[in-house]
Amino acid sequence: MTLKPNYQLMNADEMRGTLNRLADEILNAHSGRELVLVGIQRRGVPMAQRMAKTMADKANVHPQLGILDINLYRDDLTHAAVQPIVRRTELPPHIDDKEVILIDDVLFTGRTVGAALRALTDFGRMRAIQLAVFVDRGHRELPVEANFIGKTIPTKDNEVVEVRLTEIDGEDAIYVMEKA
């Protein structure tokens, strides 16, 4: 299956602006309380790291960071890579009673988030779990919605939303691709 680019949704500047806005929204909703930003492998991780830096720079807030790989919790229908690689999971200790913001690049069927919720329950009982995503592209298969959304766009079944981050892909951009 080959992908060809359909159009570019965001460039680097737009992405920076969006991430900053999301960080603000999260802070406004949670001022004063202990936050943990948990990035979902793979691209949720650098997103969480950037947001943490923004929060520290702009508001002197230092949320804890966590990393979550959901491959061990997938249900059969979760979209997975041909050879799903199990990556690191690292959560801060004493996560009970904290407010967790799950962070991912694209919200699609909702199954990744479903798996993330199952994973988090094995780590303890968090006070609250909320979700922040860069792009919501619709087509939900589970009753999952994000609390903080970068951009909502309608997409077709044969399209793929690719979020590229410098830390992993060498550039910052979001493309909507089409399956050839």
Partner 1 sequence: MKRKDLLGIRELACDEILEILDTAESMQELSSRPIKKVPTLRGKTIINLFFESSTRTRTSFEIAGKWLSADVVNISMSTSSVSKGETLIDTAKTLDSMSADCVVIRHASSGAPHTIARMTKARVINGGDGAHEHPTQALLDALTIRQRKGSLSGLKVAIVGDIAHSRVARSNIHLLTKFGSDVWACSAPTLMPVKMDELLTENQNRLHITRSMDEALDQADVIMMLRVQFERMNESFFPSVREYFRYYGLSRERASRGKSDAIIMHPGPINRGVEISSDVADGPYSVILDQVAAGLAVRMAILYLLLGV
Q: Where do contacts with partner 1 occur on this chain (CB under 8 A)?
A: 69, 71-74, 80, 83-90, 118-119, 122-124
- Between the alpha carbon of residue 14 and those of residues 10, 62, 64, 124, 170, the distances in Å are 6, 24, 26, 36, 17
Q: Which is nearer to partner 1, 12 or 77 (CB)?
A: 77
For the bound state, the minimum distance from the C-beta of residue 111 to partner 1, rounded and expressed in Å, comes to 14
For the bound state, the minimum distance from the C-beta of residue 69 to partner 1, rounded and expressed in Å, comes to 7
For the bound state, the minimum distance from the C-beta of residue 84 to partner 1, rounded and expressed in Å, comes to 7
Q: How are beta strands 99-107 and 64-68 bridged, if at all? A: unpaired
Q: Which is nearer to partner 1, 119 or 163 (CB)?
A: 119
- Residue for token digits 């949704």? 9
Query: By the 8 A CB rule, do 69 and 41 touch?
Result: yes
Query: By the 8 A CB rule, do 141 and 109 touch?
Result: yes
Q: Which is nearer to partner 1, 10 or 45 (CB)?
A: 45
For the bound state, the minimum distance from the C-beta of residue 160 to partner 1, rounded and expressed in Å, comes to 21
Q: Which is nearer to partner 1, 6 or 124 (CB)?
A: 124
Phi, psi of 102 (to 5 degrees): -80, 135
